[in-house]
Amino acid sequence: MRYSRRVLLTDTQTPVSWRARPRSFVALMGLYESNFIRFGWLAGKLTALTGRYRSSVRGDCDLVLTVTERSPYTSTVNLTYLLPHMHGSLPYPDMQVRIYHDAHLVEARQWAAVHSQPLLRSLRTRAERELDQRWARNMMLNKWLEYCVERGHRFSSSTEPEAGA
């Protein structure tokens, strides 16, 4: 029997030896792990990202990833759509994301302070406790990452960052 040195990570095939209560801290860490896998689908090797990247897909808004902070074990990035606006582009939802390279976790840390979209506004107002707020942000990120990948968005650490970044 031969084994490949390369491991394909998919969040649907990750073995789980415990049962976590929904919306618990343990389940939240599982969500962060799923975010890491999905972010990898979008951006490739996360430790190699620097600068600013733009993904343009026909029929969708441009998606921008900007690395704002790097250390050996973590990176902080902003992820946002550039929505068409009468005065140029509007960055939305403008989400700050922390990547924990050593732990293989990705956490949505904050998102736009004000939401004009009714669904996002109601999601934020319902999240009262800190754990609930983290769940809301990270479920949003998880679904958004999957959506962006399905639409064809990709950032590549092997390509040059956007000029002027």
For the segment 104-128, what is each residue's pLDDT rounded down to a tens digit?
999 999 876 555 667 666 665 665 5
Mean pLDDT, range 131-144, rounded to an integer? 89
CA distances from 7 to 16, 41, 96, 110 (A): 17, 13, 28, 31
Q: Which domain holds residue 71?
A: 25-151
* Number of structural domains the chain divides into: 1
**Residue 20 vs residue 67, higher pLDDT:** 67
Look at residue 1 and tell me if it is in a domain: no
Please check the confidence at residue 20 and state whether its pLDDT lies above 80: no
In a domain, 131, yes or no: yes
Looking up tokens 């990833």 gives 65
* pLDDT at residue 23 is higher than 90: no
Q: How many CB atoms lie within 10 A of CB 52?
A: 18
pTM over 0.85: no
Q: With bands split at pLDDT 50, 70 and 90, how would you rate the model's confidence at 130? A: confident
Q: Is residue 146 part of a domain?
A: yes
136 within domain boundaries = yes
